[in-house]
Structure 1
Amino acid sequence: MTAPPSIPALLVLEDGRCFHGESYGAEGESFGEAVFATAMTGYQETLTDPSYHKQVVVMTAPHVGNTGWNADDHESDRIWVSGFVVRDPARVTSSWRASHGLEDELRRQGVVGIKGIDTRALTRHLRDKGSMRVGISSTETDPEALLARVLEQPAMSGANLVADVTTAEPYVVPAVGDKRFTVAAIDLGIKAMTPQRMAQRGIEVHVLPADTTIEQVRELNPDGVFFSNGPGDPAAADQVITLLQQVLAEQRPYFGICFGNQIFGRALGLDTYKLPFGHRGVNQPVMDLTTGKVEITSQNHGFAVAAPLGEDITTPYGTARVSHIGLNDEVVEGLELRDDSGALSAFSVQYHPEAAAGPHDAAYLFDRFVDLLAERSPEGTN
């Protein structure tokens, strides 16, 4: 069978760097923030992670798509990336779990991509110059014309994207086996695996919209509160910062992941800042300062918390401290809060202990949350 003719495609970064390749996925034009992900596996989870909303993902692994697309591995009900960049897509789908090919799904969901470019050169450029706005087009042949449209796009700094990704209505993920606790999970772009990890530990998870009020949390009267991962600039998410401050003022046990770590930092009075190119992939080394253990983690974030290492931080809610650091660059990877008695009352991490595609080194953090709930609510819920 003769292969269909290739369609030229163009990628232009906001600094004018241009790459020529071929259309991959849907034809058309798309814009976003160019970021690179270093994972060699788990592209389906990456594509469906709401934290990648408004981002064009460059895969550093050269060969992508060999396991196709299946009905089980997505983290949400749609693809969230604005565009997808690969060097050498698989010609054949080779997995018994696949229902169809990756490019078929990209076309079905209207995701514009580009293939056949030097993704190593593109990644090195983003590493050196930083993440930046980008456009992909299979309809525009003039780099200058596409660049002009790229420069019209909003930057990620200052972007409040929570409302785009949060659930419209509350829903419940029941506990597996005996129910021990109830947790209110504020959906800032939650991944499907997160409530599953909690449910496996006997937690009934009530996933709530991002505009949930403290009064609605009180009505549920949960044993603990969780804030999820999500996209955008944490400094712009004023409403959820206020909600978390109210939760902390009531001394409700708290656990946050990724965006939930950044929101925790801002709720404690700390600043956040944009990283040059962020951390994205499943090979990021982190040290848990509580145990001294080093774990390999899955990460996806472009912002980080600014906090002093090795120092106590006085807050209106107790004493905070950095609990985890990234070993590549000493970025804050976790925070903890202790009350006046010195007991742990809240904590968060910047990475993904629920990582469906792995690694699973950090899964113990869900057990740490259960321990916190047991200490603070020893009777559990009925």
Structure 2
Amino acid sequence: MTTNKPLIPAVAAGSSPSAGQGALGSAILAAALVLPGIQAAHADTAPENGIFSLKYLNYQDSQPGFDRITAHSPSIYVMTPVAGEWSIEGTLTSDDVSGASPRYHTAVSGASRMNDQRTGADFAVSRYFSRGSVTVGAAYSTEHDYESRALSVQGNVSSEDKNTTWSFGVGGARDKINPVNLIVVNEHRRTNDFLLGVTQVLTAQDIAQLTLTRSQGSGYFSDPYKDVDNRPRTRNETALLAQWNHHFSGTDGTSRLSYRYYTDTYKIRAHTFSGEYVQPLSQGWTVTPSLRFYTQSAASFYFDPVYDTQLGAPFPPGYVFGSGQFTSADQRLSGFGAVTVGIKVVKQLTRDWSVDLKLESYEQRGSWRLFHDGSPGLEPLRAQSIQIGVNKQW
């Protein structure tokens, strides 16, 4: 269930996807898909080599005087070309999550010990044409109180000179929710995702991309493990992502800059500014430092909790039991700002083998929000992650 997962907001944009660094028209950015029902886009050209990648991620977050969630997540990715015009790929991931999950809110309550195991897999088949590609994908994940299935179709169409690529996609997810406290039984959530994007080669060194995504969700969105958490049974989300990659001929490095605006029917408004710089070095080394700033407004029904000495728990002012009013003290729905600093190092061992290491540090504070009111009374949330990987081409 989502409450057992780290508090790093799902609406924050991730790192920019890789882009080609070669001549004009020969390298098109993959569409940056940010919704769960749609798979990552593919380039127009069929891959010549297969890829095997083994990754391991360790994540840990904390608040002052309080160690919270730890996650261990190994994964395997395999992609292989087929018959020159097709490719098949799949990922298998296992997340072991344990630690302390707040019973009400990280600012005012203690926590319950929890442990969860999530297994997820996705599979995609792509067909490549002279000026485009089509990818059909499926995904499945399960944990002790949550099950999700998703299907997607993704397409790309390029202009004759391949300097412009249009991307479009549609996906759907169906989730089943069975919390162990039996607050609800066999609840469901449905999400339909849509994408439209355009990628433009501007010069021999510059590629730009604009991607619009829309998600329409209905069903159970409340947190069954928190008291006084009642959310609307619909949530529609819209995001606009702009990216610009520039290659520096003098250093052979590439900068990747992006801005993402997000809004939803919870009245959350979010902005993400991110940048990274990919610098190849001698003897097969590549270093990529990154920086991301995220800020969001609070949901319209979020409240900053304060203990009620008579009721013994945080309740919003004027709360009436059984009224059915929408309310939540989930810190992820509060107004806050967050900064992520990271670095990735890759070593090419041979023509076919490489290893990589990625470190990230995240900090979230209510007082760091921009453009909107925040929740300055919240305790800061800090998180660190380490990811190591081994990759092989054939």
Question: Do the two structures share a fold, i.e. TM-score over 0.5?
Answer: no
TM-score, normalization by structure 2? 0.27
Scaled by the length of structure 1, the TM-score of the pair is: 0.27
